[in-house]
Amino acid sequence: MTTTCIVLCAGDNVRWNNHTGVRKHLVEIEGEVLLARTLKQVEAYRPDRTLVVVREEDAPLYEPYCQGKEIYRLNFESPTTEAWKYLSSQKIWNTQGRTVSLLGDVWFSEEAMKQIFTYSEKDWRVFGRSGPSRVNGCPWGEIFAHSFEDPTEHQSNLLKLDQLYRNEILCASPAGWAHYLLMEGNDIKSRQKALDLLGSKNNGRVQVGPRFKEIDDFTDDFDYPDDLTRWNSMRQKN
């Protein structure tokens, strides 16, 4: 069975606000550019194909760090919803084997990467943290990666999520989490329903099901500059 690895780096970087003068996927952490580090970790598992997904206009910024890997350029010609964070790569999903989809603004521990790439079951899985970290100080949960063979259900629920955004049933719910809830069979009928399922009544911890693989170490997502500041502080203490 072949494996395709996709590293998603096509976000708009609005929350990062060009902190340190670079896109968040290209920030230097502990002496390594984040994207370059991720690709080096991926290479250890020898996927058959590795692609870095970027916006067309950003490609020149990313090319020096892609280590010869394929760059998949996106040109958003029409308004998109939050669901397109994941749907944008649908044309390069592996329909004959496994797709591993990594969020490009995540610092992955070696153990996390091992969990993701050695997962061998056929069923769809998401890898993340279901709530506040007991290790790195992050006060909320995060989605880090997906792994799947047949992309049909993955795509179907992303299209459903896209429609929920377009119909303004969802306005602010994080797309990764909302998609996960749909994959677990939840019926999202309103923004409040989504928020309740996402833990607003459970101290911010999502009640996860069997399709969720928990990772709680220094693996974390950097959306805001403060996320990196907090992470660095916790690393220094450990």
| CA 211 to chain centroid | 16
93: number of Cβ within 10 Å:
18
Q: Are 85 and 162 in contact (CB under 8 A)?
A: no
Structural domains of the chain in order of their starting residue, each with its CATH number: 3-151+209-231 (3.90.550.10)
What rounded mean pLDDT belongs to the chain? Answer: 92
In this model, does residue 96 exceed pLDDT 60? yes
Bridge pairing between strands 98-103 and 3-8: parallel
Rounded distance, CA 62 to CA 70, Å?
11
Of 7-21, 148-162, 203-217, which range is least confident?
7-21
3-state secondary structure of 215: coil
Encoded amino acid at 233, one letter: S
Q: How confident is the model at residue 66 (pLDDT cuts 50, 70, 90)?
A: very high
Nearest-CA neighbor of 80 among 169, 12, 135? 12
What pLDDT shows up at residue 92? 97
Residues, the chain, total? 238
Summarised one tens digit per residue, pLDDT across range 33-54 is 999 999 999 999 999 999 999 9
User: In the predicted model, is pLDDT for residue 222 greater than 70?
Assistant: yes
Q: Are 52 and 69 in contact (CB under 8 A)?
A: yes
- Rounded Cα–Cα distance for residues 229 and 18 (Å): 15
Let me know how many helices (H) and strands (E) the chain has, helices first: 8, 11
Conformational region of residue 31, where left means phi above 0, alpha means psi within -120 to 50, and beta covers everything else:
left
State yes or no: pLDDT of 135 exceeds 80: yes
**pLDDT score for 237:** 87
